[in-house]
């Protein structure tokens, strides 16, 4: 039976018609100038398809709204895939944290007007006047197409796509407060990773419960530190969506020379990878804080990825997704990257601080998602995964929860793992 898409955003229809019109126009011009323009004649089919109409209108620093094209706007035909889409796309990013700033920058660099919804009017004014956030990555200059506002109605009124970059544990309260201002049918791309402690649900569950099932949702994950994205360091991520048409549109919207976007339909696989990798990163940091060396660290991360794979397959994920960017890829970045807050949290655990002490020093502005996710993961596994001795199947996940809750010392946890009975590396392959 043919799948029926609920991705019914009216702009999507305009998108495809505009693409077809642009393609026909380019092919027509290429045909007319074949003999006189070798550059056009030698373009590949892929290059021709990605011709873009680019409109540009300068922004003023005092404006807090995205600028709309006027009758005086000039139109230029570009022969490169990095140009903006040939339709009036406007993106709203929910959340002014580091990752929200990074994704807003990615979209704005493609020439798409982008609104950043922040909590404070003073923060919004500072961003609009100085093109920098006053407290987060203050040395990073934001593209001029990024405009900030604290007015929810203003931010969401004309959004074509919404990017959600609010931490998981704050998502439900945040969305309940703004859901009436979100236009119907507008797709939501979530960049948040983890499991909600109250409901034990992934972001896919939270979004549908808060905003309904009559819109499409997509999920971005992969090894992607916010600072490196803003600095233009090469980054590869994946977008998961049950509707590949939406996934492809979002990938095309965001992809550029230094930001490569792949797609998949395996939503649960991407969600599991994004949640579990943060817990493994805390364990990796703790291992380093204890001074246990590279052998122990490598073994711990590898075994953690095995637990991620086991849980993902049980919940319906594809093994290829777990071994891809959103699983093993993101785990490597988070476990070994110096910018990882989860790794830093674990390192301080290994040095003797308690979880409560570390969280108090970090404050609300710096969130290590793996801390809450660790507790929620164990509860979810106990509720959903049936079988004998779950603690033997997920020793790292269960052990980290005990350490974070203060029921076991970090060194005790490592010794417990090392004293496990000898058995096959992958017990589920014994048959």
Q: Which residues are catalytic?
A: 277
DSSP 8-state assignment for residue 150: S
* Burial label, 122 (beta-carbon count in 10 A; 0-12, 13-18, 19+): exposed
* 117-124 contacts, C-beta under 8 A, 24 or more apart: 117/92, 117/93, 117/148, 117/149, 117/150, 117/152, 117/155, 117/156, 118/148, 118/149, 118/150, 119/150, 120/150, 121/150, 123/96, 123/148, 123/150, 124/64, 124/148, 124/149, 124/150
Q: How far apart are CA 66 and CA 90, in angstroms?
A: 8
Nearest in space to 243 (alpha carbons), one of 220, 267, 208: 267
Q: How far apart are CA 39 and CA 34, in angstroms?
A: 9
Angle at 109 between CA 103 and CA 114, to 5 degrees: 60
Contacts with 376 (C-beta within 8 Å, 6 or more apart), sequence order: 194, 195, 196, 197, 200
Helix (H) / strand (E) element for 110: namely: none
Q: How far apart are CA 230 and CA 219, in angstroms?
A: 20
Virtual torsion, Cα 193, 194, 199, 203, nearest 10 deg: 20
């Amino acid at each position: 039976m043919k799948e029926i898409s609920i991705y019914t955003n009216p702009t999507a229809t305009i998108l495809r018609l505009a693409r077809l019109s642009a393609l026909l126009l380019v092919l027509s011009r290429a045909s007319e100038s074949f003999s006189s323009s070798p550059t056009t004649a030698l373009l590949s089919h892929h290059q021709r398809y990605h011709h873009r109409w680019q409109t540009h209108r300068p922004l003023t620093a005092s404006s807090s709204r995205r600028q709309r094209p006027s009758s005086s706007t000039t139109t230029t035909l570009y022969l490169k895939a990095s140009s903006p889409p040939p339709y009036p796309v406007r993106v709203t990013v929910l959340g002014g944290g580091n990752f929200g700033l990074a994704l807003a920058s990615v979209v704005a660099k493609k020439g798409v007007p982008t609104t950043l919804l922040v909590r404070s009017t003073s923060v919004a004014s500072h961003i609009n006047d100085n093109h920098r956030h006053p407290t987060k990555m203050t040395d990073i200059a934001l593209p001029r197409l990024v405009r900030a506002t604290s007015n929810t109605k203003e931010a969401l009124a004309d959004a074509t796509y919404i990017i959600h970059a609010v931490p998981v544990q704050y998502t439900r309260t945040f969305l309940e407060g703004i859901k009436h201002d979100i236009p119907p049918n507008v797709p939501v791309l979530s960049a948040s990773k983890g499991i909600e402690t109250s409901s034990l649900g992934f972001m896919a569950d939270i979004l549908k419960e808060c905003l309904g099932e009559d819109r499409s949702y997509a999920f971005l994950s992969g090894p992607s530190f916010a600072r490196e994205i803003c600095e233009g360091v090469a980054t590869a991520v994946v977008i998961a969506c049950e509707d590949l048409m939406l996934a492809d549109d979002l990938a095309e919207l965001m992809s550029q020379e230094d930001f490569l976007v792949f797609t998949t339909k395996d939503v649960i696989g991407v969600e599991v990878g994004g949640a579990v990798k943060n817990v493994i990163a805390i364990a990796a940091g703790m291992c380093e804080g204890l001074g246990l060396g590279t052998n122990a660290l490598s073994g711990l991360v590898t075994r953690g990825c095995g637990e991620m794979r086991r849980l993902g397959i049980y919940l319906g994920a594809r093994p290829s997704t777990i071994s891809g960017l959103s699983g093993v890829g993101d785990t490597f970045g988070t476990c070994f990257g110096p910018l990882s807050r989860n790794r830093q949290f674990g390192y301080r655990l290994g040095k003797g601080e308690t979880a409560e002490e570390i969280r108090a020093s970090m404050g609300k502005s710096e969130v290590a998602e793996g801390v809450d996710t660790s507790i929620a993961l164990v509860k979810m596994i106990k509720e959903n995964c049936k079988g004998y001795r779950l603690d033997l199947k997920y020793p790292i996940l269960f052990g980290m929860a005990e350490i974070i809750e203060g029921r076991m010392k970090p060194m005790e946890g490592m010794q417990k793992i090392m004293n496990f009975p000898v058995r096959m590396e992958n017990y589920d392959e014994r048959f």
